Structure 1
Amino acid sequence: MFLNFIRFLNTFSSALVMGAVFGVWLGFDPFSLSPTAYIEQQQNLISALNVLMPRLGFVTIIVTLINAFLNKRKKIKMTWLIVASLCFIAAGLITAFGNQVINAVVITWNPEKPPIGWMRYRDEWWTLHCYRTLASVLGMTIVIWINTKTDTIP
């Protein structure tokens, strides 16, 4: 019963993390926006997600590792869950040491008067976001695969 709850929580939290970063990747094209629109959109994203998402990501990592531990007798499942947690850890590190560093700068900008070189920050943030999206999608894919193949994977 507890293992089923952990599997559910693992899938649910992974879906929330991946859905948020994938949604931004899919629906937010920073290159088509004017400087003012970009800054306003980015500041809105920062205000809405900058605290919540790292916490949700941390919970996802912990639950994925708990799931791996609970599957320690099933070495292949445990190994894949550790790989999934490494994907989520990679996304978290990219966020903490890349995106959030840029966010701390962008949040101070005046949308009506973009700083010189603002596009460099935009481009770097987007590249990092693409990497963390890939890591999150990969982690989520592994979690779904492992959690739905409960009887067929040793």
Structure 2
Amino acid sequence: MITWLLSVAVLAGSGVVAGVLFAVALSVLPALIAMPADRYVYAHQLIGRRWDPTMPIIVLTSTAIDVVLAFLADSRKPLFVAGAVLLLAVSVVSHFCNVPINRVVKKLDPERIPAGWRDPRPLWRRFHLLRTFLAVLAVVVNAAAVVPA
């Protein structure tokens, strides 16, 4: 019973992570890229208010559940390990690549963009697409681990 509950939880968690990141990549990011710098900074600051700590908690909890399932699983152990590694990679990319950019943007005054400002959107986009790919792969791997053959 516990394995079933954890399996549902890891699918829900990794699915939410993949879905949120996919939605941002598909809709939010193109909108932010199309904006002038001042509107981008303002919108980025508004959109980013609720991500922390919600998304890190979901990603790390799902990672931990994958680790527990790896210990409980028999032949599916490699899939749960792969799911955990992929979700951990999502967390690493977020924490070390996207979050530092977010912190810089949060400190900007949208009405006073400094001269020579380096637009972080292209770099942020690359990192975001990487973590989105990893998250989608994680939910696919978790689904393969949970769904009986």
Question: Structure 2-normalised TM-score?
Answer: 0.91
Moved more, 91-100 or 43-52: 43-52
How far did 1:117 drift?
2.5
Cα deviations across residues 108-144 of structure 1 (Å, max 9, x unaligned)?
111122233331x221111110100010010011111
Partner of 2:46: 44
> Is the 1:50–1:100 contact (alpha carbons within 8 Å) kept by the matching residues of 2?
no
Question: Structure 1-normalised TM-score?
Answer: 0.89
Identity %: 21
Partner of 2:2: 2
Unaligned runs of 5+ in 2: none
Q: CA RMSD in A?
A: 1.3
Unaligned runs of 5+ in 1: none
Q: Distance in 1 between matches of 2:47 and 2:139?
A: 22
List 4+ stretches of structure 1 deviating above 3 A: none
Q: Determine helix, strand or coil for the equivalent of 2:107.
A: coil
Does residue 15 of the first structure (1) align with residue 20 of the second (2)?
Answer: no
Moved more, 7-16 or 106-115: 106-115
Amino acid at match of 1:50: D
Q: How many residues align?
A: 146
Partner of 2:126: 127
Q: Distance in 2 between matches of 1:139 and 1:56?
A: 13
> Is the 1:10–1:67 contact (alpha carbons within 8 Å) kept by the matching residues of 2?
no
> Is the 2:79–2:144 contact (alpha carbons within 8 Å) kept by the matching residues of 1?
no
Does residue 147 of the first structure (1) align with residue 146 of the second (2)?
Answer: yes
Q: Distance in 2 between matches of 1:19 and 1:101?
A: 23
